[in-house]
Amino acid sequence: MLDNVTINQLRAFVAVCDQGSFSGAARKLARAQSAISHAIKALESAFDVELFERNTRKAQLTAAGRSLLPDARAVISRTEEMKNRAGAIAKAGVPQVSVAVDAYFPRTHLIDCLRTLQEEFPTAAINLRITTMQGGENLVLERVCALAVTIENVPEVNPEAIERRWLREAEMVTVCAPSYPLASIPKPIPVDEFGRRTQIVVTDNQPEAEKTQQGVAGKRQWLVNDLGAKRDLLKAGLGWGHLPRHLVSEDLASGQLVELERHAWHMGPLTFVVSQRRGYDLSPCESRLVELLGRP
C-alpha cells in the first residue's frame, strides 16, 4: 500500500500539522477542505494507522502521527531538493569537470576551491585524479581528463598537442629529520655534502620517469611514487629531500623535521601550470575552477 502514497498527501499531512486544522491547511495549499480530508484518509489507509485524533475539534496528532511527521517533512524536503536539482540540470545541463592535479599542489587550497565550485555549480560531476610528474598531461592526452595542474619544469609530454598557462607558485624547503646527519652539519650546507647523503626523490610510473626528477643533488637516491611516502621516509630519518612548505609546516613547527639551509644552491618556488589540449574550449565550470585554483 505504501506505493500509493503521494507527495501531495504528505504535503496535506504536514500542512494540517503546521496550520492546526484542516481548514487552515486547505487555505495554505489553495485546495478544497474536502480534498485535504480525502488526502489524509488515503494516507492513513496506506499507512494503516490513524494520524489524527477523531474526538477533538482541533487537528491533534496521534502517537503514530507524531512519529511519522518528521519522516513526511524529510521526504518533502528531499523532493524539493530533487526538483531544484532537476531544474538546474534542465537549464544548464550537468557540468563535467575532469582534472588531474599534481600531488605537490596545496591540498587544502584544492579542497577549498572544490567546495566553492560545488556551491556555485551544485550539479557538477567531478572526476579528480592525483598524479605526479607527467602523469597529469598523459591523462589529458588520453582524454581521461580535460585539465591537468602540472609542475612547470616537468618536460611537456607533447608540446604540439598540449598548451600550458601559469597558475600559481608554492615555496619549497629542504628538510630532514633532526636525527639525520645533515641536521648536525654547520649551516649553510654545501651541495657536495648533500650529494654524499641519500636523497628521497618523488618519481612516477611513466617510462623514462627518472629524466623528470627535479632538484637532485647526487647519485644516492631512493625513489618513491607517492608524496606522502616521501614525507614519512624523511620523518623516519632515512634521507633528506625537498618538499612544499605548506605540506611540512606542522612537522617543522613540532620538530619532526628540520629545515636545511643550502649554500650556493638556489632553489626557486615550485611553479604550477594548467595544461589542456590545444584548441580545447573550457566550459564555464572548468574556467571557474581554474580561476579558483590560481587565487592566492
pLDDT (tens digit, 0 to 9) for every residue of the chain, 296 residues total? Answer: 456 788 888 989 899 888 888 888 889 888 998 988 898 898 888 888 888 887 767 788 889 888 989 998 888 888 877 776 666 555 555 578 999 999 889 999 999 999 999 998 888 889 999 988 888 999 998 999 999 999 888 888 888 888 899 999 988 899 999 999 999 988 888 888 888 899 998 876 555 544 555 567 667 889 888 888 999 999 999 999 999 898 899 999 999 999 998 876 777 788 999 999 888 888 888 999 999 999 87
Cell digits for 241? 629531500
Q: Report how far apart, in Å, the C-alpha atoms of 156 and of each of 55, 164, 202, 269, 270 are.
A: 80, 9, 17, 19, 16
Local structure of 144: helix, strand or coil = coil
Q: What is the Cα–Cα distance from 293 to 274, expressed in whole angstroms?
A: 10
Give yes or no for a contact between 71 and 79, defined as CB atoms under 8 angstroms apart.
Answer: no
Helix (H) or strand (E) holding 130: strand 125-131
Give yes or no for a contact between 276 and 282, defined as CB atoms under 8 angstroms apart.
Answer: yes
- The residues, any chain, with a CB within 8 Å of residue 155's CB and separated by 6 or more, are 134, 211, 212
What integer pLDDT is reported at residue 181 of this predicted model? Answer: 92
Give yes or no for a contact between 202 and 230, defined as CB atoms under 8 angstroms apart.
Answer: yes
Local structure of 23: helix, strand or coil = helix
What integer pLDDT is reported at residue 213 of this predicted model? Answer: 53
Local structure of 211: helix, strand or coil = helix
Local structure of 99: helix, strand or coil = strand
Q: Report how far apart, in Å, the C-alpha atoms of 133 and of each of 145, 156, 207, 227 are.
A: 15, 10, 11, 11
Give yes or no for a contact between 69 and 77, defined as CB atoms under 8 angstroms apart.
Answer: no
Alpha helices by DSSP H, 132-174: 135-141
What integer pLDDT is reported at residue 210 of this predicted model? Answer: 44
Q: What is the Cα–Cα distance from 161 to 148, expressed in whole angstroms?
A: 13
What integer pLDDT is reported at residue 5 of this predicted model? Answer: 84
Give yes or no for a contact between 62 and 51, defined as CB atoms under 8 angstroms apart.
Answer: yes
What integer pLDDT is reported at residue 18 of this predicted model? Answer: 87
Strands 96-102 and 147-151: parallel
- Other CB atoms within a 10 A radius of the CB of residue 249 amount to 12
What integer pLDDT is reported at residue 179 of this predicted model? Answer: 94
Give yes or no for a contact between 276 and 139, defined as CB atoms under 8 angstroms apart.
Answer: no
Compute and round to an integer the Cα radius of gyration of the chain.
Answer: 30
